[in-house]
Chain A
Amino acid sequence: MKKIIHILAVFTMLLTFFLIFVGALIKSTEAGLSVPDWPTTFGENMFLFPYSSMVGGIFYEHSHRLIASIVGFCILLNTILIQFSNFNKFVKIISLITLCAVITQGILGGLTVLYFLPAWLSASHGTLGQTTFCLTIILAVITSPKWYKNKAVKLNSKIRKLSFIAVAMVWTQLIIGAIVRHTESALVALDFPKINDTWIPSFKDDAIEKINYERFVQSFDFVLNLDPITSGQLLIHFMHRSFGYIIFLFMIYYCFNLYKNKLFMTTPIILILLISTQIALGALTVLSKKEFIVTSLHVSNGAAILGILVYLCLNINKSKLL
């Protein structure tokens, strides 16, 4: 029984990660409203909607809904199994929280469609999606036989603090990123590492006006139509970039501390690699003018970073949990 629960938890975690990628593809292809109704699909039962009709944007949107149903079902099933197992109270509570999160997430997804994707709703859907992914990771870890077999090492409070700060920082960056994405602030500048040819942008009216005139001129050379920007969009974009660099520096410090304590030799290397990739993907998102695969990889790679940090945090604080 415990083995089945663990396998199901790992499967759910992997499927949730894939679901985040497919969800990212929807925004990247602007297909969020290609299916105007919910929970039905073009008036039909979503499970009976023919594959041949999944053309254009419907392919991404409908696939996301189908995979999300499977994830939802897996979480529901596992929550029931866990309640009847002899896992401890912590596992039972986490599984119930995960179930609540996934149900809320499903409803949020439906509401984004019915209310035509207001930025705050879409950003919440993106944030809760990745938070649910973190919960599936926790569940996969704490249902593992290894988790109970291996003894917990007592660690100093500094490294424990760092592990929490790391999660909090990346989770905050996820929210900022979701706002950038859903307020159309990714392409307020088309250059990298500079922002509209400056290192620190000016948010004054005349500076914004100048940028907007430049964009208007450019729209006659480009195929892309560059909409005028606002100072709010520029600010959130600037925050996302700057905080990304701060996170990078912090992570080097964090990984250095992990090494010093002779903890997790490979995970920090993966972490640094993923964060470097993440900065590169962020730059490429801008430089490629939001090529849809690049943009979606930026989102899912971000989820992977958050996931690894949650995993580290969980292991570092193991002695407190067991």
Chain B
Amino acid sequence: MKRLISILVLTTLTVGICGSISGTVNFDGKGPKKKKLKMDADPVCGKSHQTPVYRQDFVMDDNNNLANVIVYLKNIDFKGSVTKTQVVLDQKGCVYSPHVMGVMKGQEILIKNSDATLHNIHGLPKVNTEFNFAMPKVLKEKKMTLVKSEDAFKVKCDVHPWMSAYVQVFDHPYFAVTSNDGSYKIDNIPAGTYEVVAWQEKFKDKTVAHQVTVADGNSKQNFTFVKPSKKK
């Protein structure tokens, strides 16, 4: 019995207190006009959609909530192991799904081609090595990993110029991408005070950051991207 208690105490100490951060990301101002993607350069792409597909660099709902925003903890020292789960980057209907994603360095990325056409998947990282793979109709899957952490970089298809995605590589698992309602949640964060950063594609390096203290339970933190005004 004594042994059991000591093991329990030890486990609690090593694991420590963990909490989560959640909230929504929104936009202050009138968003840019939605623009349809023209896919007629490849008949397969055009045919695979019944409804129009819009540009994904700025996805906002009616309540000004922003999707595709990466929210992450900055300067956190993570000693744990790499997430075992695979992340999937699918090429479906000649658009990338998801459009924005975060991965841990060394985490396996499964690139899929769900289309009856060919793609090339061309990543333009600055820290990791640039890559460009052929994804012919017959090659449906390809696995890869990114070995160094780096800020969001573009992934594109040069066959279909409208296709683009963004990938950010982290050396820790504390990141999330906002869903269509602008919400995000980051779990299992060790207690402490952190700088939490939100990245949006159009705002690029003009990120929004807040100090957040994590204790037992959930901490709320919302982010607002403000539309730049003409006069500085």
Contact = CB atoms under 8 A, between A and B. Distances in A.
Interface stretch (A35-43, A166-174, A178-186): A35-43
Contacts of B158: 30-34, 57, 61
Contacts of A221: 32
B66 to A, nearest CB: 13
Contacts of B120: 33-36
Contacts of A59: 41
A216 B118 CA distance: 34
Given A36-B122, A213-B228, A216-B206, A56 B134 contact: no
B134 A43 contact: yes
B118 A36 contact: no
Given A33-B122, A36-B122, A57 B202 contact: no
Contacts of A55: 41-44, 117-118, 159
B79 interface: no
Nearest to A34: B158
Contacts of B202: 219-220, 225
Interface in B19-41: 29, 31-33, 35, 41
Nearest to B124: A116
A217 B32 contact: no
Contacts of A216: 206, 228
B42 A213 contact: no
A220 B228 contact: yes
A225 B41 CA distance: 21
Interface in B114-146: 117-118, 120, 122, 130, 132-134, 136-137
B113 to A, nearest CB: 12
Contacts of A222: 32
A198 to B, nearest CB: 17
Interface string B197-232: 000001000100000000000000000000111101
Interface in B133-182: 133-134, 136-137, 157-161
B99 interface: no
Contacts, number: 79
A36 B228 contact: no
A58 interface: yes
Nearest to A32: B158
Given A35-B120, A216-B228, A220-B227, A56 B161 contact: yes
Contacts of A223: 32-33, 35, 55
Nearest to B231: A217
Nearest to B123: A116
B204 to A, nearest CB: 8
B154 to A, nearest CB: 10
Contacts of A210: 232
A156 interface: no
B96 to A, nearest CB: 15
**A34, A56, A210 pick with most chain B CB within 10 angstroms:** A56
**Which of B44, B158, B160 has most chain A Cβ within 10 Å?**
B158
Contacts of A220: 29, 31-32, 202, 227-228
Contact of A116 (B132, B160, B206): B132
Interface string A38-60: 00001100000000010111110
B136 A42 contact: yes
Interface string A217-236: 10111110100000000000
B108 interface: no
Contact of A225 (B43, B57, B118, B161): B57
B160 to A, nearest CB: 5
3 tightest Cβ-Cβ pairs between the two chains A and B? A34-B158, A55-B42, A56-B159
Interface of B: 29, 31-33, 35, 41-45, 55, 57, 117-118, 120, 122, 130, 132-134, 136-137, 157-161, 202, 206, 227-230, 232
12 contacts: A33-B132, A36-B120, A42-B134, A55-B41, A55-B44, A56-B42, A56-B159, A59-B41, A116-B130, A217-B229, A223-B32, A223-B33
